[in-house]
Amino acid sequence: MKKIVLSLVVVFLAVLALNSCKDANSPEAIAEKYLTHMAKHEWEQAKALGTEDTQSMIAFKMDSEEGEGAEAKIEDMKCTVTEETAVCTCKLDGADRTLNLVKAEDKWLVDEKKEMPDMGLDDLNLGEEGTEGEVGEATETGETTTEEVVTK
């Protein structure tokens, strides 16, 4: 009887160990680890969980963000998985956050692109309809003159 109980315990522990190893590479686990490392400014650990694009984005952040990070509060992690991609959503410190992941060589990797900086284009007067703007006009000598116009 003791052998049967001992055998069942060993089988149960083996199944539990296999499941926990499998879950360590789930999109949910990778996304949570990545967000935790990013919040703490643990750049190298975060890079290890990302694609080349993600690693480039992290390198950009490393140059622009100094100091130590902080603990992140990650809640409601949910991932929608297709064959080779996953989209994970969660609450990160109370704000909605979405991460894209791709599967490469049986390993899930975060796939973030480098964010484009705000160039302040919203503040430019581009001569939209109903607003004043300037129009340049080339002359025969190659000079450009500017005249103010109002579009309707």
Q: What pLDDT score was predicted for residue 47?
A: 95
pLDDT tens-digit readout, 58-110: 988 888 777 778 888 999 999 999 989 999 999 999 999 999 999 999 999 99
Determine the length of the chain: 152
pTM listed for this prediction: 0.61
CB 46 within 8 A of CB 58: yes
Which residues are CB-contacts of 13 (< 8 A; sequence separation ≥ 6)? none
Alpha carbons 102 and 121: distance in angstroms, whole number: 33
Q: What pLDDT score was predicted for residue 8?
A: 55
Mean pLDDT value of segment 24-37: 95
Q: What pLDDT score was predicted for residue 141?
A: 54
CATH number of the domain at 27-117, please?
Answer: 3.10.450.50
Q: How many of the other CB atoms lie within 10 Å of CB of 8?
A: 10
Mean pLDDT value of segment 11-17: 51
Residue with tokens 């129009």: 135
Given a cut of 70, is residue 130 above it in pLDDT? Answer: no
Domain boundaries, the chain: 27-117
Band of the pLDDT at 19, cuts 50, 70, 90?
A: very low
Alpha carbons 80 and 115: distance in angstroms, whole number: 23
Q: How many of the other CB atoms lie within 10 Å of CB of 79?
A: 18
